[in-house]
Homo-oligomer: A and B are copies of this chain.
Amino acid sequence: MTDAIRGLGEFGLIRKLTEQLKQGDTVVHGIGDDCAVLAVGEKQLLLTCDASLEDVHFKRHWGKPEDIGWKAAVSALSDIAAMGGRATAVLVTLALPEDLPVSYAEGLYRGLADAVESVGATIVGGDTTASRSGIIIDITVIGEVVGRPVLRSGAQPGDVIAVTGAIGERGAGLHALLHDVDASELIRAYLHPSPRIEAGQWFQAQPGVHAMMDVSDGLLPDARHIAQASGVGIDLFSDKLPKNDRLDAYWKSQGEGGSLQRVRSGEEYELLVVLAAAEFDMICEAFSRYTGLLISVIGECTKSHEGIQLDGSIPGATGFEHFCGRD
Residues of A at under 8 Å CB distance from B?
2-6, 8, 10, 13-14, 16-18, 20-24, 26-27, 30-31, 35-36, 38, 40-43, 45, 47-51, 53, 55-57, 88-89, 91, 93-96, 98-103, 105-106, 109-110, 113, 117, 120-134, 136, 138, 140, 142, 144, 322-323, 325
Contacts and interface: CB of A to CB of B under 8 A. Distances in A.
B51 A127 contact: yes
A16 to B, nearest CB: 7
Contact of A142 (B42, B47, B99, B113): B47
A133 B134 contact: yes
A105 B325 CA distance: 17
B144 A30 contact: no
Given A41-B42, A41-B43, A125-B30, A98 B5 contact: yes
A124 B134 CA distance: 28
Q: Which one of A10, A26, A123 has the highest number of Cβ atoms from chain B below 10 Å of its Cβ?
A: A123
B124 A36 contact: yes
Given A91-B49, A122-B23, A2 B138 contact: no
Contact of A122 (B24, B127, B144): B24
Contacts of A24: 88-89, 120-122, 124
Number of identical protomers: 2
B123 A18 contact: yes
B142 A102 contact: no
A91 B26 CA distance: 15
B10 A125 contact: no
B4 A125 contact: no
A122 B22 contact: yes
Given A27-B124, A89-B47, A17 B105 contact: yes
Contacts of A117: 22
A100 B13 CA distance: 12
Contacts of A23: 122
Given A48-B91, A89-B47, A5 B142 contact: no
4 tightest Cβ-Cβ pairs between the two chains A and B: A133-B133, A24-B122, A36-B124, A6-B98
Given A89-B24, A124-B30, A129-B322, A138 B4 contact: no
Contacts of A55: 132-133
Q: Which one of A4, A5, A113 has the highest number of Cβ atoms from chain B below 10 Å of its Cβ?
A: A5
Contact of A53 (B43, B123, B131): B131
A99 B131 CA distance: 20
Nearest to A327: B130
Nearest to A38: B89
A65 to B, nearest CB: 12
